[in-house]
Amino acid sequence: MRGRDVICILDFKRSELERLFRIASTRFEGDELRGKVVALAFFEPSTRTRLSFETAVLRLGGGYIGFSSAEGTSIQKGESFSDTIRMLDAYADAIVVRHRIEGAAKLAAELAEAPVINAGDGSKRHPTQAMIDLYTVWREKGSVDGLTYGVLGDLRYGRAARSFILSLTLFNPKRVYLIAPKGLEPKQELLERLKLDYELTDLSVLPELDVLYVTRIQKERFPDPAEYERVKGSYKVDLKLLEDAKGGLMILHPLPRVDEIDPEVDRTEHAFYFKQAANGVPVRMALLQEVIG
């Protein structure tokens, strides 16, 4: 993966992802990025993605530069996205970009010599999150294949859910249930790309699931605030719902959560979302090591 841009999860082959998972699950020396600088260009809010990238760089002995919002940068003076990326390209060995506009990371990759890693672009792609999600299943269940998945929430505007669903096409899940409130169903564009056994349904399939992937409603991406008001609070995973779950049901969530998983669920055997978030560090370490180490 040396020097490669990481724009979309489907740019990867299953074998490459599995190699990444094996690296993520082994020990690192701690000097794999010695002398390297990673630029973190976050034009949109982030907690886990940015801080786990920072942690990953530091744990590999590298350094980072960057910003966590356009505020405080020359973008406020009117500098363009392209000029900003050109500068980061001159300073760093890799550029991690998060932006609210779809295609921003791809554009950055066209402008920069250094490899660009997409840390989320609009409601479209979030490849490193999908890597973490798959890694969590792979590690906990031994395989991504043969399982029944339910993806619950905002399947229209959620880039993490979209990337996860697409990433499953690289594997052989038994079945994928897409569970979205009315108005938040996946776009036709996504459904057309799903070459797997999927069904649009509701939470009545819960007893069948091995993995339930929950996402929040992406309030900030609604073109019309009234549309958000109509769907907010329309689903919730709580102890009552889980009475019907299989013993081994694993609940994932890219986080942040708002109200879609009751905090009481955190102490059940089903809650894997904090472990999933922690896996962000070794997976991003493995990726950085592969791309620029």
The H-or-E segment that residue 94 falls in is: strand 94-99
Q: Which of 4, 75, 265 is nearest to 152 (CA)?
A: 265
32 versus 255: smaller Cβ distance to ligand NCD: 255
The H-or-E segment that residue 251 falls in is: strand 250-252
Site string for ligand NCD, 51-90 (x = CB under 6 A): ----------------------------------------
Q: Any catalytic annotation for residue 215?
A: no
Q: Which of 48, 59, 139, 236 binds ligand NCD (CB under 6 A)?
A: 48
CA angle 204, 209, 213 (to 5 degrees): 95
Q: Any catalytic annotation for residue 34?
A: no
Catalytic annotation, pick one of 36, 50, 84, 98: 98
- Integer CA distances (angstroms), 3 to 40, 93, 113, 128, 278, in order: 17, 9, 9, 16, 26
**From the CB of 128, what's the least distance to ligand NCD, in Å?**
8
What amino acid occupies position 65? I
Q: Which of 85, 160, 245, 252 binds ligand NCD (CB under 6 A)?
A: 160
Under the criterion CB under 6 A, does residue 216 sit at the interface with ligand NCD?
yes
Tokens of 103: 């295609």
Q: Which of 99, 159, 270, 284 binds ligand NCD (CB under 6 A)?
A: 159
Q: Any catalytic annotation for residue 128?
A: no
Inter-residue contact 212 to 250 (CB < 8 Å) = yes
Catalytic positions, written as ranges = 48-49, 77, 98, 126
Residues in touch with ligand NCD (CB under 6 A): 48-49, 120, 126, 129, 159-160, 215-216, 254-256
